[in-house]
Amino acid sequence: MPKVVKLARGPRLEIQVQERYVRGESVHVKVYGEMKIGAKERIYARDLGLRTLQLLMLQPEHGTHNPYTTGVWIYRKGELDNYASVDIFSMAGYEMISTGRVGSLSAATTLPYDGSLWLGFIALGE
């Protein structure tokens, strides 16, 4: 059963697995889960159960033929309680179809109806 964290300021986090690795004097934590987030929202290290956020990998989950791509900028890597800002871009415009032609596809240039997108994530930190 995932641990669900609904933040008042925006994203919803569903943490599936949290693994701790101890090497010498340092402890590394790996977090797997899903988040529902809009573009330009922030994810703080403490929201993921981390002291510092070093890496955040995102995989968009969409049910349409309108693919999305994500970008992440981590503020002050390695410092306590830092955060990551998430950018979401739509690659709407064209779709390859089975006949080999490039057909025009009318697609929204915005996020889904509620302005948020489900993203699978892996986060690394301490």
CB atoms within 10 A of CB 79: 12
The predicted pLDDT at position 1 comes to 63
Going 62 to 123 to 48 to 21, the CA torsion angle's sign is positive
Q: What is the mean predicted confidence (pLDDT) over 43-68?
A: 85
Q: Is the pLDDT of residue 117 over 60?
A: yes
Q: What is the mean predicted confidence (pLDDT) over 72-92?
A: 86
pTM: 0.77
Of residues 75 and 109, more confidently modeled: 75
In the chain, what's the furthest Cα-to-Cα distance? 59
Q: What is the mean predicted confidence (pLDDT) over 103-117?
A: 58
